Amino acid sequence: MRHHSVGIVGVGNMGLAMALRLRELGAELHVRDIDPAREALAIDAGARRAATPAEMARRADAIVIAVVDAAQSEAVLFGDGGVAGAMRAGGCVVLCPTIAPASTEAIAARLAAAGIDTIDAPMSGGPARARSGTMSLMVACPDRVFARWRDLLESLADPVFRIGERAGDGARTKLVNNLLAAVNLVGAAEAIALAERVGLDAARTLDVIERSSGQSWIASDRNAARDRR
C-alpha cells in the first residue's frame, strides 16, 4: 500500500486483526483503546499508542473506527478529546461498526462540516479473515474519496464491495446481509435440533451439511466457535 499514517480506534477482535494486518504491510500505525492490554498487543507489533483519539487525529491521515456501536463512535469522534476537533481538513474517517444508516449519515454530515471525509465501511467475515485481509467491506463514499483511499481499503479487505456514494448505504447493505445471516443461523439451529430429535448425531449431521447443499457460512462459523469453547 502507499505510505499513509493510519490510526485505529478500538483494537478489539476486529480492530486488532486489522492493526496486525496493516503493520505486516508496513503502514505507520497508531492505536487507541480503553483497554491497555489490547493496546499492548498492537504496540508489540510495532504500532504507536495515542493517548486520546484527538492525539491520533493529529498524527494520522486516516482513522479507522472499530468500536462497538453508534454511541461509542460518536464519543470517540465528537466527545472530549475526540477526532473531529483535531483532525486536519482532508483527513478521512473509515467507519466500520455495524450501526443504523441514520447514525452513519449524521456522523458523515458532522465530519463533512469539519472538512473531514467519511467512508461508510461496515465489515463482515470475522477476525481471522480480517487478519489475512480477506474479510469484506461494504463501502459507500464519494468517488474521489474512494479513489484516494482505495489502497488502504484493499489492504484491509478482499473483496471491497463498492456500494455507492451515499453515506449510509454501506450500513444498509450490512443490515440486509445480517438479516439473511440471522435467518440462516436460525434455520441451521432448527435443523440440528431436528437431527437430535430423530436420533441423529449432531456433529455428524453438521459435517454432512457443511459439505452438502444445506451449508451456510455463518452456521459453520458459529458451530466451530462453540466447539472451541
Q: Which sequence spans correspond to the domains of the chain?
A: 5-166, 173-228
Radius of gyration of the chain (CA): 19
159 C-beta neighbours (distance < 10 Å), count: 12
Q: Contact, 85 vs 63, CB < 8 A?
A: no
- Predicted confidence at residue 219, as pLDDT, reads 77
Reported as a pLDDT band with limits 50, 70 and 90, residue 227 is low
Reported as a pLDDT band with limits 50, 70 and 90, residue 127 is very high
- Predicted confidence at residue 1, as pLDDT, reads 56
| C-alpha to C-alpha distance for 162 and 169, rounded to whole angstroms | 10
Reported as a pLDDT band with limits 50, 70 and 90, residue 218 is confident
The answer to pTM > 0.85 is yes
Catalytic residue list contains 174: yes
Residue 34 has pLDDT above 80, yes or no: yes
Amino acid code (one letter) for 200: L
Report the percentage of the chain scoring pLDDT > 90.
87
| C-alpha to C-alpha distance for 38 and 16, rounded to whole angstroms | 8
Q: Contact, 83 vs 89, CB < 8 A?
A: no
pLDDT, tens digit (0-9, with 9 covering 90-100), for 146-193: 999 999 999 999 999 999 999 999 999 999 999 999 999 999 999 999
Q: Is 3 helix (H, G, I), strand (E, B) or coil?
A: coil
| C-alpha to C-alpha distance for 25 and 46, rounded to whole angstroms | 12
| C-alpha to C-alpha distance for 178 and 172, rounded to whole angstroms | 10
Residue of 4, 30, 172, 174 with catalytic role: 174
Beta bridge partners of 62: 6, 92
CATH entry, 5-166, from 3.20.20.70, 3.40.50.720, 3.10.180.10, 3.40.630.30: 3.40.50.720
- Predicted confidence at residue 223, as pLDDT, reads 65
Residue 3 has pLDDT above 70, yes or no: no
| C-alpha to C-alpha distance for 67 and 96, rounded to whole angstroms | 8
- Predicted confidence at residue 224, as pLDDT, reads 60
Beta-strand (E) ranges in the chain? 5-9, 28-32, 48-49, 62-65, 92-95, 117-120, 123-124, 135-140, 157-164
